[in-house]
Amino acid sequence: MSEKPPVRFQRANFVVADLDKALTFYEGVLGFEVTYRKGHNPESYSIPVFEIPDGAELGFAILSLPGQPRVMALSEIAAIDLEPVPHPRRGAIVLETQDPDAVMAASRELGLKVYDEGVLETHDGRIGREIGIVDFDDNLVVIYLIPDA
Per-residue pLDDT of 48-102, as tens digits, reads 999 999 999 999 999 999 999 999 999 999 999 998 989 999 999 999 999 999 9
Give the mean pLDDT of 133-138: 98
Per-residue pLDDT of 88-129, as tens digits, reads 999 999 999 999 999 999 999 999 999 999 999 999 999 999
User: Is residue 74 located within the same domain as residue 23?
Assistant: yes
Per-residue model confidence (pLDDT) at position 148? 83
> Any idea what the CATH number is for the domain that residue 148 is in?
3.30.720.110
Assess whether pLDDT exceeds 90 at residue 132.
yes
User: Is residue 54 located within the same domain as residue 111?
Assistant: no
User: Is residue 95 located within the same domain as residue 148?
Assistant: yes
User: Is residue 17 located within the same domain as residue 64?
Assistant: yes
Number of domains comprising the chain: 2
- Separation between Cα atoms, residue 77 and residue 25, nearest integer Å: 17
Per-residue model confidence (pLDDT) at position 100? 98
Assess whether pLDDT exceeds 80 at residue 139.
yes
Domain with 69, as residue range(s), is 9-79
Calculate ∠ Cα 107-111-116, nearest 5°.
60
- Separation between Cα atoms, residue 80 and residue 61, nearest integer Å: 19
Per-residue model confidence (pLDDT) at position 98? 96
Assess whether pLDDT exceeds 60 at residue 149.
no
Q: Residue ranges of the alpha helices (H) in 1-149?
A: 19-26, 46-49, 100-109
User: Is residue 75 located within the same domain as residue 113?
Assistant: no
